Amino acid sequence: MGIIRKDIASHCGKECELSSKSDEFESFHFMEALVFLEDNMKAIKQSLEILIPLLFLCFITGLVYGSIQSNDFENRFEDIIKEYDSKKLARMKGSESESVLRAYDLGADNLSFLVLTQGYEDVILLEVELDHKSVRDVQVLYHDETEDYGTYVEEDWYLNRLMIPYDGPLKSVKYRKNSADDVIAITGATITSDAVVAGVNKCIEKMEGFK
């Protein structure tokens, strides 16, 4: 019995010794870290003094670039935009962005958007009219897609596929619809079809902000 007690005491002593050494080891490394920080604080401070202005400059540059790009599209499609500005009742500037060039309140919960989306060859400019439940009308105001299949994007038989009820974003699919929100893409012009659906979805996203 005495032998067992001695073994237990010896075991506990070793554990305590190991724990003490572990604490000393951690304390040593903590002190090392403090000394390192103290020795390098000046260099860290100098780095931050350089990094923070650079990050701020990048942020401002991004804002300016976005504004310039938006203004470029405004100038490029100036005639179209002026025509719509002259006939629409109420412009909703708060809903506009780099890609949504214009947003108009048509009344009776109907909104109309002039929206840009990136096509296969160039940007595509759409007019999209919708209410809170369905896409009511889609018109292609500008595109420069390929002459063989890409030009089908402005045909009524394709645009009619977009004028459907929605309960979230539309989805461009091949060959057949599997759900009510699906839009069958133009065979041979999948990228162009996806771009148009993406443009309509930008408008749906804006519209959902008014629910």
pLDDT in tens, the chain (211 residues): 544 444 544 545 555 454 555 555 556 566 666 666 666 766 766 666 676 766 655 454 444 444 444 578 889 999 999 999 988 678 999 899 999 999 999 988 899 999 999 999 999 999 999 999 999 999 999 999 998 899 999 999 999 999 999 999 999 999 899 999 999 999 999 999 999 999 999 999 998 776 5
In three-state secondary structure terms, 90 is strand
Q: What is the pLDDT of residue 9?
A: 45
Q: What is the pLDDT of residue 56?
A: 57
**CB-based burial of residue 136 (10 Å sphere; 0-12 exposed, 13-18 middle, 19+ buried)?**
middle
Q: What is the pLDDT of residue 68?
A: 43
The string of DSSP letters for 1-68 reads: -HHHHHHHHHHHHHHHHHHHHHHHHHHHHHHHHHHHHHHHHHHHHHHHHHHHHHHHHHHHHHHHHHHH
Q: What is the pLDDT of residue 172?
A: 96
Q: What is the pLDDT of residue 207?
A: 87
